[in-house]
Amino acid sequence: MSDTEDDRASARPSRAAGDPWDGRGDTLMIRNLSKRFADTTVLDSVDLRIRRGEVHSLLGHNGSGKSTLIKVLAGFHAPEPGSAMEFCGESIDLPLAPGRASELGIAFVHQDLALLPSLTVLENLRIVEWCAGKGRIHWRAERVRARADLEALDIDVDLDAQVSSLDQGQRALIAVARAASTLGVTRQREGGQARGLLVLDEPTVFLSEAGREQLFALIHRVASLGVGVLFVSHDLDEVLENTDAVTVLRDGKVVGSKPTSATSYDELVRLIIGKAELPVSSRTSQADPDIVVAGVRNVSGGRAGLSDVDFDIFKGEILGLTGLLGSGFNELPYLLFGASAESGTGGEIQLDGDVYHLSSLDPTDAIRRGLALIPSNRPRDGGILTLPVAENITMLSFRQCMVGPRLSGRRIVKLAADQADEFDVRPRDVRMQYGRLSGGNQQKALIAKWLLTKPRLLLLDEPTQGVDVGARQQIISQLRRVCADGGAVLYASADHAELAEVCDRVLVFRHGRLARTLDGEQLTKDTITSECIGLIESEQTDDSR
C-alpha cells in the first residue's frame, strides 16, 4: 500500500459494530434490478446491498445508471419485471408508488439541496411535513422540536436565519438534518438504533473543504445511529476517506462491490472507465506570448468587490483563475461575458484591438465578439432542460441548419448527432430531453454547443465539477482543441490539482485583488493552495523580519 493509501486508511473513521461487512442487518437489498428506455438498457441486473449504519458509495461514469437507480428508489421510475427489493428485512413490491419511499423510511438529499432560500431554517426544516397536510402549525412546539433536532446532530445554526444568508456548507447541513429528521434519527433515545436509508446524490459538489468536513462528520453521526447511507460522488478521494463500502456501475452493470478498505484509487479508476489507467494528459503548452487574444483592464465590482484586475490572455493559452471562496476569482467569467447580475461593474475587455466596456456589455454582444461562457450551474444556466438535446446543442448555430429560408429539423438532428458522437454524449439519442442526461453528459453537450460557435475566448467556471474521471479527460482534450485552433481559455476553478495539470499560468486572487501569477515550476497543487491562503507571502514576511 502506498503512503497516500496509508494516509487515507488512517483518516477513514472507525465504525461501531466492527467491519462494515460483518453480520449486522441489511437496510437495503436490491436484486436483478433492470431498467430500459425504449431500446436503451440503463440498468442491467443490478445487485446492491447496504448494511445498517454503513456509508456505502455508488460510483460510475456519467450515464452509468446511478441517477436512474436513485429514481427507482424514489418511485419516479418503474423497473423491469423480475426486479426485487428488500428494505429492513421486508420484501417490497416494485414499482414504488408515489410517497411509498417516504413511508418506508427513505430520504433523499440532492445536489441542489432543495431548500427555499427566502424561508428561514425553521421553515425549511419543517416544510416537508407541513406540505403533507399536518394541520395547524404550532410554532412554539415546532421551534422546540427543530432545536432538539439540530442539537442531536451537533449543528449550530440560528433557526430564524434566512437560508439565503447561510453559506453553502451550512445549507448542506440543514438539508441533511431535514432528511434525518424525517427518518426519526434525531429522536432516538441514547443507545437506540434508527432504521431507514439516507440517499445523498453528490451533495459535496459545491462545498468548500471545510464544508465537506462538516458534512461528513454529520453523515457519520447519522450512520452511527443505525441508518444506512447511500452516497453518490465522483470524488474518489472523499469516497476512499469517508465510506465503508463501494459499488461501481459501468454502462448500467455492477462491475465491482467491496469494502472501501479493500480497494484503491487506481482500482476504482479502472472499474469506472474500464481501463487500467487514464489517458495521459499532455502539459505541452500551445500558448504564444507574442499574440494577445484578450486584454482585461481595470475590472472592478461583483459581490467580492473586485478591484483593478488587469491581465492578458495569450493565443493558445489555458489561463487558470483561483482563490479562496469569496475572493472573486469565479465572478470574472460572468463579468467578462456581461452575465453578472451585480451592478456597478467597471473595466473593459480588449479583443483584437477593439475595446468593450463591461458596464454596457451583454451576453448577446459577447457572443457576437467571439466569447463563450460555460457556467458552473448547468441545470439553471447552461441549457434548457425541457428541450431535446439536439436543440440545446444547435441553438446557437441554427444558420448551419437552414435550407433556404427554413430551418431543417433533419439538419438539426444530424448536426447534433455528429457533435454528440465527437463529444461522447451518452446516450446517443439527441431527441431525448436535455434534462434527462446525467450531469457530466449535460456538460459535454454544453461544451459541444459552444464549440460549434468557434469562440476566440472560452470562459469556464468549474468545468469538471461533478464529472467522472473519464469525462474529465475528454473535456480537457476539447479545451486543448480550442487552443490548437488559435483561441484561448479562461479556466476558473477551486480544484488546485486540476489547475496545476491543465493550465499554462494560474492567477491567484485574494480579497478581490489579483495577488500572484504562477507559471512553470510554480504550477503545483501545494504552491497554488499556499498562495490562495497567503501562506508563502506570510512565510516570506516572517523570514524578512
Tens of pLDDT, residue by residue over 393-404, are: 999 999 999 999
- Residue tagged 433556404 (cell numbers): 404
- 85 in a domain, yes or no? yes
Distance CA 35, CA 42 (A): 6
Does one domain contain both 209 and 160? yes
Does one domain contain both 351 and 407? no
In the chain, the percentage of residues whose pLDDT exceeds 90 is 57
The backbone torsions φ and ψ at residue 113, rounded to the nearest 5 degrees and listed phi first, read: 70, -20
Q: How confident is the model at residue 85 (pLDDT cuts 50, 70, 90)?
A: very high
List strands edge to edge, sheet with 197-201.
Answer: 106-109, 197-201, 228-232, 55-60, 245-250, 253-259
Does one domain contain both 366 and 383? no
Instruction: State yes or no: cis peptide before 79, omega within 30 of 0.
Output: no
Does one domain contain both 493 and 398? no
Least confident of 134-138, 409-413, 470-474: 134-138
Domain final residue, candidates 248, 273, 298: 273
Strand (E) or helix (H) holding 492? strand 488-492
Region 444-471 average pLDDT: 90
Does one domain contain both 258 and 300? no
Does one domain contain both 90 and 161? yes
Distance CA 448, CA 430 (A): 12
How many Cβ atoms from other residues are within 10 Å of residue 187's Cβ?
13
Region 455-469 average pLDDT: 88
First to last CA, the chain: 43
Greater confidence, 105 or 191?
Answer: 105
- 477 in a domain, yes or no? yes
Tell me what percent of the chain is helix, strand and coil, each rounded to the nearest 5.
Answer: 40, 25, 35
**What does the block give as the cell for 137?**
402549525
Q: What is the pLDDT of residues 65-80, one digit of tens each?
A: 998 999 999 999 999 9
Does one domain contain both 128 and 62? yes
Strand (E) or helix (H) holding 258? strand 253-259
Quote the domain boundaries for residue 404.
Answer: 379-438
Distance CA 294, CA 498 (A): 23
- 13 in a domain, yes or no? no
Does one domain contain both 69 and 126? yes
How long, in residues, is the chain? Answer: 545
- 411 in a domain, yes or no? yes
Least confident of 32-36, 50-54, 144-148: 144-148
When divided into structural domains, the chain yields a total of: 3
Output the domain CATH number for residue 51.
Answer: 3.40.50.300
Distances (CA, A) of 460 to 147, 305, 310, 335: 41, 20, 18, 12
How many Cβ atoms from other residues are within 10 Å of residue 3's Cβ?
7
Specify the pLDDT at position 376.
87
pLDDT beyond 80 at 19: no
- 519 in a domain, yes or no? yes
CA triple 509-514-518, angle to 5 deg: 80
DSSP string for 83-112: -EEEETTEEE-SSPPTTHHHHHTEEEE-TT
Distances (CA, A) of 10 to 7, 247, 264: 5, 21, 14
Distance, CA of 171 to chain centre: 15
How many Cβ atoms from other residues are within 10 Å of residue 357's Cβ?
11
Domain final residue, candidates 387, 405, 438: 438
Does one domain contain both 433 and 468? no
pLDDT beyond 80 at 8: no
- 126 in a domain, yes or no? yes
Distance CA 258, CA 506 (A): 39
Does one domain contain both 359 and 419? no
pLDDT beyond 90 at 13: no
Query: Mutual orientation of helices 209-224 and 168-182 as an angle, nearest 10°?
Result: 10
Q: Which amino acid is at 163?
A: V
Least confident of 21-25, 315-319, 476-480: 21-25
- 412 in a domain, yes or no? yes
Q: How confident is the model at residue 406 (pLDDT cuts 50, 70, 90)?
A: very high
How many Cβ atoms from other residues are within 10 Å of residue 407's Cβ?
13
Specify the pLDDT at position 408.
95
Distance CA 93, CA 101 (A): 11
* Surface-to-core class of residue 167, CB atoms within 10 Å of its CB (0-12 exposed, 13-18 middle, 19+ buried): middle
Does one domain contain both 219 and 261? yes
Does one domain contain both 320 and 346? yes
Report the largest interatomic distance among the alpha carbons of the chain, rounded to a whole angstrom: 75
Distance CA 125, CA 112 (A): 16
- 6 in a domain, yes or no? no
